[in-house]
A and B are shown apart, each in its own frame.
Chain A
């Protein structure tokens, strides 16, 4: 297995370098210097700014310099917009994003798999039809609509400063939630704070994702219900619960793993819309701001990080296939 992993990593190095090349070229289509100049800047200032940004160097020098920094894990480059190191931006943004994305992923997977199993077991019956109708309805509504209405109803009307029926705030984030020490030393406050600020965005994220995931998992499970081993299990008198959660679920793990693993990289990128509307200082917001501000260092490092996580996730997915299904051989 380790030989397989090393081989896959080596095969993906040119892919990774190609991604970096593409990102850097795409960014440099337009000159970012003018976005950072003061009023009435003269030619001398423009040139000076370009030198300070390192953009006066030949492209290949910029590229290999960046690759060299990545290889040495040097994230000390400074953001052009924020006057902070990129490492500082990323290390502060990732935990905030994770506060939303990690619970969303687990909750979505757990609920969607359960609903998918239930629908496949009661395929064609009223419960299946109702749940699938709701899933399609959920998919038909734009994410932004969910956010706007959810923030208004869940945060403002029913939230902690409205009718008080729900513990949610309209927006905001307690930066202490990003600290593991806070969770360990004040778990009650941490959970309360998480609910206040992250509960509503997570709820919205789960509701939005459930439509897509439920239909996917239902399709996967339906394929399993028609198989011989399920008929055999029923004939042998296995209970519905055992059939669903022991036999079907286990055999459907490969597509489930694929679905979940594909989502992993987005755990760190986060949801731009959620972070922007709910004031969460996460990666999604940092990335979109950097793109709009033509903040090359931040965009390049974040892209590099994301690409590495995607490649790592794909490799890990293949390895997990072999772990889950003994019929799969890594070669």
Chain B
């Protein structure tokens, strides 16, 4: 019989042989990177049906839009499938688009001979038409509702129909030739150009959609820099370089900031992308495995989870710790276009209304809540607190975060005065206010903090932690008098946030507050058609201040996202503004552990 020491030695030998016997996953000489997605990942790969950030992340590698955010400055746009930015000679009512010639769809069996054909104007309009197809349940109809001339009529014609027609003429679509077309709008809304940069309007070929039908999600065909190799939902998305990708160059040297140059982001200037042969997105549901994979050097970058923040950064100086810097890890941060708030249902008999008393009650709640304490307790102080609904960095955001008239807490004395004015001195006679929020994350603890803060002035809240779909149901049915929610801007323009208070958008629309002020609505209708500039900003400020005074919400906060980048991943400047930037990534395998 073998002695125990010999048994252990034998097992160790078998282990080591088996580890060595494991095959390499990538061919030598290929450039590859594994990057994380911090959730279950994309639900599907069809842009017409996509809605989440992760759908965006996946689709942006396979498909492309007419316009895109700039990698060097994601707040600005540039043409991607166009030769130049769209032009208009009638103040933004009619837009002319010139397509980039030679942009080819991926090779796929849906095309004759399996060879991808050139993208033409008809493909762009086809892709937009899909948003009106009832088969896709109008998931993204909101993007172009009442925007393109004749498009709403076109959509309404086929509501409930099984025979949606992609050939029916639309008044606002004008094809001039294969590489030039025009779109006529109902009114000159500036946001339309932003919509054309959103992944839901990505260009897809009709042949592929018709051939694959419901399975188009798993058989994506686009013009993007990568092709789908393997997609296992909730596990990984593996992509390979598109050998027929049209010419897109790495941003020029003079487009980078001095900080970017210090991080050597400019070095690939002028080179053709993509650099990577393989790109894998790996889904992580929990923070620890993602963090450990980053720490061992397997994944290229990671957003820094809250519980690991102090492992990476000095909490006092917020600078990357020396040991991290010594290992070559680089950090990067982004202020997100967040609008984190607690909203009031303006139609609620207790907290809603526009009378001086009702406003005073909501202002009192604002004054009693200490957002700085929320930031310190739950976000390591890594948020920006600001007045109004417009996030930092956008026109209309108050300078320094503080508007001229502000009811942002804490000011308990003023809160008590406001409460008295509302008819509830020290909270006497005020019934408990029902507060609804989703039960995930640390929401329960956040609610406890809010309860404690409001109790200081005599306001009692009755928390109801529900799952997200129940929360949406309550809000959509106007049943939640006071609720916790957040909004992330669809595009970098304050109009997107101001739209949340536009009367016609009341629940079940995005105006969850059911805020209705005719004067506000008039201003919103005016700004929709204005181009960015001092005049428009002035109106933004008026609308912002009106909201602050009426206080249909308690807010606001915007998170700062921190990233760490391993030294072997080059050209990486993570942003959540858009997700087509992965084509600029490169690797230096000599720096891998």
**What are the residues of chain B within 8 A of A38 when measuring CB–CB?**
51, 137-142
Of the candidate stretches A5-13, A147-155, A223-231, A249-257, the one touching chain B is: A147-155
**What are the residues of chain A within 8 A of B289 when measuring CB–CB?**
151, 170-171, 277-279
- A152 in contact with B292 (CB, 8 Å): yes
Of the candidate stretches A127-135, A190-198, A202-210, A240-248, the one touching chain B is: A190-198
**What are the residues of chain A within 8 A of B257 when measuring CB–CB?**
none
CA distance A269 to B510 in the complex (A): 39
Interface size on A, residues (CB 8 A): 57
- A292 in contact with B19 (CB, 8 Å): no
CB closest chain-A residue, reference B510: A40
B476 interfacial by beta-carbon distance below 8 Å:
yes
CA distance A277 to B40 in the complex (A): 12
CA distance A37 to B476 in the complex (A): 11
CA distance A166 to B472 in the complex (A): 47
CB contacts between A and B, total, < 8 Å: 145
CA distance A289 to B23 in the complex (A): 32
- Chain B 31-54 near chain A by CB (<8 Å), digits 1 or 0: 000000000100110100101000
CA distance A171 to B294 in the complex (A): 12
Q: What range describes how many residues of B lie at the interface?
A: 35 or more
A229 to chain B, nearest CB (A): 29
CA distance A196 to B286 in the complex (A): 19
B467 interfacial by beta-carbon distance below 8 Å:
yes
**What are the residues of chain B within 8 A of A43 when measuring CB–CB?**
508
- B142 in contact with A82 (CB, 8 Å): no
**What are the residues of chain B within 8 A of A151 when measuring CB–CB?**
288-289, 292
With known contacts A45-B137, A278-B289, A294-B469, A188–B235 Cβ distance under 8 A: no
Of the candidate stretches A28-36, A64-72, A105-113, the one touching chain B is: A28-36
CB closest chain-A residue, reference B285: A276
B15 interfacial by beta-carbon distance below 8 Å:
yes
CB closest chain-A residue, reference B286: A277
**What are the residues of chain A within 8 A of B293 when measuring CB–CB?**
170-171
- B19 in contact with A160 (CB, 8 Å): yes
CA distance A52 to B49 in the complex (A): 15
- B214 in contact with A83 (CB, 8 Å): yes
- A35 interface neighbour in B134, B214, B282, B472, Cβ under 8 Å: B472
CB closest chain-B residue, reference A273: B286
- A188 in contact with B21 (CB, 8 Å): yes
B220 to chain A, nearest CB (A): 12
- Chain B 265-286 near chain A by CB (<8 Å), digits 1 or 0: 0000000000000000011111
CA distance A48 to B137 in the complex (A): 7
- B508 in contact with A281 (CB, 8 Å): no
**What are the residues of chain B within 8 A of A160 when measuring CB–CB?**
19
Of the candidate stretches B65-73, B295-303, B385-393, B555-563, the one touching chain A is: B295-303
CB closest chain-B residue, reference A31: B473
With known contacts A41-B508, A83-B43, A155-B292, A167–B469 Cβ distance under 8 A: no
B536 interfacial by beta-carbon distance below 8 Å:
no
- A42 in contact with B18 (CB, 8 Å): no
With known contacts A34-B476, A84-B233, A161-B297, A170–B292 Cβ distance under 8 A: yes
With known contacts A48-B137, A173-B235, A196–B22 Cβ distance under 8 A: yes
B406 interfacial by beta-carbon distance below 8 Å:
no
With known contacts A40-B142, A152-B292, A192-B22, A34–B469 Cβ distance under 8 A: yes
CB closest chain-A residue, reference B504: A40
CA distance A34 to B51 in the complex (A): 14
B589 to chain A, nearest CB (A): 15
A-B contact pairs, 27 of them (CB 8 A): A30-B467, A31-B470, A33-B473, A34-B476, A38-B137, A38-B141, A38-B142, A40-B142, A40-B505, A40-B508, A41-B138, A41-B476, A42-B509, A46-B508, A152-B292, A156-B296, A171-B289, A172-B282, A175-B235, A188-B18, A193-B22, A277-B286, A277-B289, A279-B282, A279-B289, A286-B234, A292-B467
| Shortest Cβ-Cβ A-B pairs, 8 listed | A35-B469, A34-B472, A192-B18, A171-B289, A40-B142, A38-B139, A40-B509, A167-B19
Q: Which residues of B contact A (CB under 8 A)?
A: 15-16, 18-19, 21-23, 40, 43-44, 46, 49, 51, 134, 137-142, 145, 159-160, 214, 217-218, 232-235, 282-286, 288-289, 292-293, 295-298, 467-470, 472-473, 476, 505, 508-510, 593
Given contact pairs A38-B51, A48-B138, A156-B292, enumerate 15 new A-B contacts (beta carbons under 8 Å).
Answer: A30-B469, A33-B473, A38-B142, A40-B145, A40-B510, A43-B508, A44-B159, A152-B292, A161-B593, A162-B296, A171-B292, A175-B232, A192-B18, A196-B22, A277-B288
Q: Which residues of A contact B (CB under 8 A)?
A: 30-35, 37-46, 48-49, 52, 78, 81-84, 92, 148, 151-152, 155-156, 160-162, 166-167, 170-173, 175, 188-189, 191-193, 195-196, 276-279, 281, 285-286, 289, 292, 294
